[in-house]
Structure formats: C-alpha cells, structure tokens
Amino acid sequence: MRINYNVIGNHNMYGNELEYEGREPELKDYLYVILKRKEVVAVTLIIIFLVSLIYSLLQVPVYRSSAVIEIKPEKIQIVDDLSGQTYYQTSLETLLNTQVRILKSRDLAKRVIYNTNISAEKKELLPSQQNNKKKNLPTNKEQNKNEPINLESFLLGSLEVNLIRGTRLIEVSFITADAKFSSKLANSWVENFINMSANLETLTSRNTSQFIAQQIGKIQNEIADKEARLRGLAQNSEIVIMDEKLNIAMKNLSQLNTSLFDAQSERINKESYYNKIKNSPPDSLPEVFNNPVIQNLENDYNKLERDSNEKSIIFKPQWPEMVRIKDQLQKAKEKLIQEKDKIYQNILDSAKAEYLSAIQKENKISAEFQQQKSEAMKLNADAVTYNALKVELENQKLLLDSLLKKRGESSISAEIQPQTAQNIRIIERANIPQSIFKPNIKINIFLSIIIGLMTGFAMAFFIDYIDDKVKSIEDIEHYIKLPLLGLIPLYTPGSHHRTKRKKKWAINFWAKTGLKTPLEAATRDGIPYLISHSNPKALVSEAFKVVRTSIMLTKDSNHPKCILITSTQPKEGKTFVATNLAITLSQVDKKVILLDCDLRNPMIHKIFKQDNSSGVSSLLLQQKKLSELIIPTPITNLSIMTAGHRAPRPAELLSLPAFKQLLDELKKQYDIIILDSPPIVPIADTSIIAPSADMTILVLLNEGTPRKSATLAINRLRSINCDIFGCMLNSVDFEGRSNYYYKYYNYSYYYGTQ
C-alpha cells in the first residue's frame, strides 16, 4: 500500500509559515559562527601573539637618528633664449628623486668611510651583525678573517632616505645599535653629500666652459662655409634677374589659377544643367512649354478638343462630323508630341555641347596652369636655397655672439665657485636619540592581537564556509529538499530552567517505572532516552508532538501503520527519535510497538533494560514465536521487540519472507509500528526493509550530517520507490542561536514554565 503524504515542512506547530526563505544573514549569525569556532580563533590568536612576542624579544634594540636637508632647484646659465630668460634644468620632482638616488650611492658611502674614519670594529654596531650575535650565529668576521670587510654594504643597509611629501626636504636616517654612532653617521652623511655636490658643481662649470669653447670653434667654421656658399650661389644664378622672372611667373600662375577656378565652376554648372535636362521629361522644361510653336499647337489642340466636346452633346460618336473632328484631334496631339520631342532634343544637344566645351576649356587651362607651376617652382628653388642660407648665416652669427658672452661668464663662475653646494643646505642636524626605535614591543603586541583576531575570524568563517554539514533550516530547504517535520533541541545541562531539574525528572520517572536505580537509566549525552514520558512538557517532548501531529494529519483515509526511522550514518540519534516518537504516539491512545531492526548494533534492549538473547532475529530464524518476543513496557500502550542475538548475515535475514509476515501480523495487533533501522548509507539493511514500511522519516544530525551523505541517503531511498515523509533535524542548539531557531518554539518554552 502506498500513501501519498502531502506534508508542508515549512510551518511550525501553529501552522505559521517559517520566515527563513531568502533570509539575509544578521549580525547574530556572524557572532554565532565566531562563538562556534572560538577554539580556532583562540588558537590563531595565541600562535600569532607568541610568534610576534618571540620575534620582538629576539630583536636587538636599535636607535634611529635623522638629519634633514633642503634641495633648491638648480639653474642652467649656458644658453639663454632671445628674451633673456633663464630655465631650470629639470622639474623639481625629477631633481629630488635624483638627489635621493645620489644619497643612496656607493660613492657617497666610500667618501663617508674615508672622511669619517669608520673602523672595522664599528661594523659590529650595525643591526645585521648584532642580530647574528644574539642568535648565536657567526658574524662575517668570524666566518672568514681574511675576507675583506665591505663597509659600504653595511652602511647602505642601515640607511633610510625619505622625501617629506609636499616639500623640498629630504630626511636622512641611520639605524644602528649605538645611539651616538647613529647620530654621527647621519650628520657625516649629509655633510659629505653637500661637499660632493659642490665638487660636482665646480667640475660642471669647468666642463661647461670647455664645451662652450668647442661649440664656438664649430660655429665659426660653419659661418665661414655658409658665407662662401652664399657668394657662389649669388654669382652663378643671377639672383636679381631671377627674382624678376620669379615675380612674373608667380603673377601668371595666379592669373591661371583664377581662370582654372572659373573654368571649373563653369564646367560644374554646365554639367549640372545637362544632367537636369537629361533626367527631366519634356513637359517639365520651361524651354519647351514656353516655346511659341508649342503654345500655338496647344491652342489648336485645345480648340479642337472644345469643338469635339460641344458637338458630342448633339451628335453621336459615329456621325461623320464627329469622326472627322476626332481624326483632327488625334493628328494635332501627335504633332504636339513630336514638336515637344524635337525641341527637347535640341535643348539636350545644346546643353551637352556646352558641357563638353566647358570640359575642354577646363582641361586646357589646367594644362597651362601645371606648366606655369613647374616653371615657377624651378625658379623658386634657387631663390629658396639662397634665402635659407642667408637666414642660417644670420642665426649662426647670433648664436656665436651669445656663446662668446657665456664663455666669459662661465670662466668667471668657475674661478669664484664656492666650496659648498649653492642649492643644498642642512635644515636640521641629527641628535643623539634617547629612546629605542626597534623593537616596539607594545605596538607589536597590539598589532599581533589585532591581526590574530582578524586572521582567527577569517579562519572561522572559512572553516564554516567549507563545512558541508547540515546546520540550518536553509540547508534543508536548499540542499536536502525534504519537508522539515521538526527540530529536536540540543539538551545540555544548564540550558534555562528545563535542564536544571534534569536529574530530578529522571529520578521521578525511573521511580514510577520501577526500574532499578536512576543511575542505571539509559541516557544520550546526559539526556534520558525516554524524556517524552518523563517530562512531556519539555521542549524536546514538544518537538516530537509536532511530528506526531504531522503523521496523524496525513490526507490519506488510512493512517500509516508502519513507520521506518533511519539516518545517514551512525550516532545521528535515530534510536532516540524512534523511541520518543513511539512514546509520543502511544500518548494519544494508539497501540504502538517499537521494533529494533538494527541487527548489527541494537540499542532498544539497553534503553528498556531488557535481555537481548531473543528478538527479531530469533523470529526470522523461526526459533521463537511472536507472542514470546513482544515485551510490554511500563509506558501505557507501548510494547517493544528487541533485535535478538547478532546474526551472521543480517541483510539476508531481513530479506526473508518471514519479516514481511511479521509486519503483517503486527499490523493486525497494533495501530502503529515503529521500525528502528540501521543507517542507510553504510549498509544495505535499511534498503531491504524500507519498501515494507508505509512511511520513512530521515533523521539528520545538526552540524554532523554531511549534505552529500543526506543526498545519497535520499537518492537511495527513492531508488527503491520508498516514500519519504520528511526529515528531522536533531541536536539543534537553541541556546547558541536563540533568535534563529528558538522563536519557532516559544510556545513550548512558555508552556514548559507553567
């Protein structure tokens, strides 16, 4: 028998629709992830904190001393333009970047070492060597005493040169293990930089004087050469006569250009008129319909047409007079058309002749223009060469005068050059630092805490992202796609009022049932397995009542008799769900029997403290009768049947027809049969018995069941045509995400407090 269950899993116990579809994450959701992964956050924070602390403690204390210099733009006074203006050599940005690069050069380092007399022993004060000593590593001197000491590299490694943004200032800093040594190096560095720049300026002035002298000699030679060429060209080409001929040629060229323009305009007009005549009907041309001959013929035609219209009123068309008038009218019309065509053809021929004549005229003038143009260009070439040489000669003389003047100025400047650079000055000398620059343990610890927390949060969210376990209602909606029958709360000590008296509830229950002692009561992680009986008002019990309501309200006329409870893998709480669902169903006057079909790892006998020597396996092996295996419990309307001794081949045993016969017989005696089956993914037992059940409920462990395992279980059940009634999410932490889940069970919470 197949039952079509129409159950909506998106409603709570009142029928109100759950508001989780399309829900945006809230701040509390992020806090929940952080709290859930607090161990990851804590471990990450501790590791980063310890690494930062150890690194800071291993570092050698170093001191930083800085000097500040100002760089002014340099001026170039080699060549002025005609207006006498002086230009800067480069932009300020390029100049500053150049000076920074010079400050970091090895040549400057060598100059400082030579002028300051830095001994090899001072190398030990540099941070790199101090760190090697602190870490018990050999220094360069200990590695090879004969190896030459490269002080330049060590100095440059301790140097920092920084541009102060928005100014012309440069900060020069040294970081060493000795405060006085740092100050001495910084001051010596900027002083030697200024002296080196002054020497470069003197050398530049001297080189400039030499360069100007070379250019003067070169220009004088070029002037002499151009003067000789100019005299020869004037004698050979008769420049004066050539100028007169050039003027005449240019005048003729201008006249021909005007004539060519007029001819082109005339040709364009004639061509346009010809195309207009050619593409127009004869009747549309004024030359045709204004012609006197055409007008006389049209008058005759119109007179005959009026005659014909007047007589057609009196005479019939066949009357001889009418025939004669019609014949005259036809001849007048033909003559009019012929005359129009003749006049139109004459006009078209005349327009074409004028157009062709205009083309010939244009071509003739164009040829004359090109010839005159060639002659003018030939005459102009010699004149252009002559004038160009003349202009070049004048420019060279002006340049020579300017260079002669600059040579005198440069010579004087080189003689009186100052001993220091004119565009560089010290703004602030380096002082002896009074505090340690590095390591800054307080800052390092603060940054390590910030970075550790950020990294820990990132790790927590990343781990939560890659975690594919079912952990929310959205996961069931989007991935599992089964009706959600209920949420089973995570029952832990100390969670509100409902767990504070857990031990007392258990004592009362086991006292009523007459079992041995409270300490022997079966529990699941500290929760009584039979809590739906021991405390019907508990939040866990209310969750099972929601599932019971869904089962009892199925739309089929016959309520399901056999309900199979399974899970995807072990330890997801299927036995706990099966036991409490059986208890909940028995509380509405239904005779219920709970069968332990997990022949590999039975649990029902442990919960009810019964002997498991015989049970379902004994019946299937025909070792016992059914009546001998049914065990009544202290719970009203609830009986159980244990699994029995472990069979060597449980799958084959459950495949026997005797199991189907067992279910048929129990359906006659009981209203509902609850089957506690093995997990469906790892073994095949559930796939064998599931088709015999009227309803299947899949138990998922919150934050424990992988989505892939749940999908595999559903596909396996559907492959054997098993109707899945829905799923239950077990061990939901309402405390951790109260605003996320607990609002759907606020009634249960309130009811449990009464």
> pTM for the full model?
0.49
Among 426, 429, 425, 430, which Cα is nearest to 64's? 430
Question: Which segment, 39-53, 138-152, 470-484, is predicted with the most confidence on average?
Answer: 39-53
Mean pLDDT of all residues in 329-340: 82
Q: Which residue has the higher pLDDT, 676 or 27?
A: 676
- pLDDT confidence band for 491 (50 / 70 / 90): low
Residue-wise pLDDT for 615-662, tens only, equals 999 888 888 888 889 999 999 999 999 999 887 889 999 999 999 999
The pLDDT value given to residue 386: 66
Mean pLDDT of all residues in 285-304: 76
Mean pLDDT of all residues in 528-553: 86
> Which tokens belong to 628?
């001998």
* CATH number for the domain whose boundaries are 472-753: 3.40.50.300
Mean pLDDT of all residues in 565-588: 93
The pLDDT value given to residue 517: 31
- pLDDT confidence band for 147 (50 / 70 / 90): very low
Q: What residues does each domain of the chain span?
A: 239-415, 472-753
Which strand (E) or helix (H) includes residue 230? Answer: helix 179-237
Mean pLDDT of all residues in 124-148: 46
Average pLDDT, the chain: 76
Mean pLDDT of all residues in 664-683: 93
The pLDDT value given to residue 249: 66
Distance spanning both ends of the chain, measured CA to CA: 43
CA 59 – CA 73 distance, rounded (Å)? 41
Exposure of 399 in the CB half-sphere (CA atoms within 13 A): 17
Q: Which residue has the higher pLDDT, 597 or 114?
A: 597
Q: Which residue has the higher pLDDT, 489 or 227?
A: 489
Bridging pattern class, strands 424-428 and 484-489: unpaired
Is the pLDDT score of 136 beyond 80? no
CA 389 – CA 387 distance, rounded (Å)? 5
Mean pLDDT of all residues in 32-49: 89
What are phi and psi for residue 725, nearest 5 degrees?
Answer: -70, -35
Q: How many angstroms separate the Cα of 629 from the Cα of each of 625, 641, 642?
A: 7, 6, 8
Bridging pattern class, strands 672-676 and 527-528: unpaired
Q: How many angstroms separate the Cα of 684 from the Cα of each of 627, 643, 688?
A: 28, 17, 7
Bridging pattern class, strands 724-732 and 695-701: parallel
- pLDDT confidence band for 407 (50 / 70 / 90): low
Q: Which residue has the higher pLDDT, 128 or 338?
A: 338
CA 291 – CA 493 distance, rounded (Å)? 123
DSSP assignments along 438-475, one per residue: B--HHHHHHHHHHHHHHHHHHHHHHHHHH--B--SHHH
Same fold, 239-415 and 472-753: no
728 close to 567: Cβ distance less than 8 angstroms: no
Across 207-216, 239-248, 288-297, least confident range: 239-248
Among 668, 723, 728, which Cα is nearest to 556's? 723
CA 293 – CA 177 distance, rounded (Å)? 123
Is the pLDDT score of 229 beyond 90? no
CA 133 – CA 146 distance, rounded (Å)? 20
Residue-wise pLDDT for 248-263, tens only, equals 766 776 777 777 777 8
Is the pLDDT score of 351 beyond 90? no
CA 274 – CA 289 distance, rounded (Å)? 18
Three-class secondary structure of residue 485 per DSSP: strand
Exposure of 697 in the CB half-sphere (CA atoms within 13 A): 30
Across 107-116, 206-215, 478-487, least confident range: 206-215
| 524 contacts: CB under 8 Å, gap ≥ 6 | 573, 576
* CATH number for the domain whose boundaries are 239-415: 1.10.287
CB atoms within 10 A of CB 149: 12
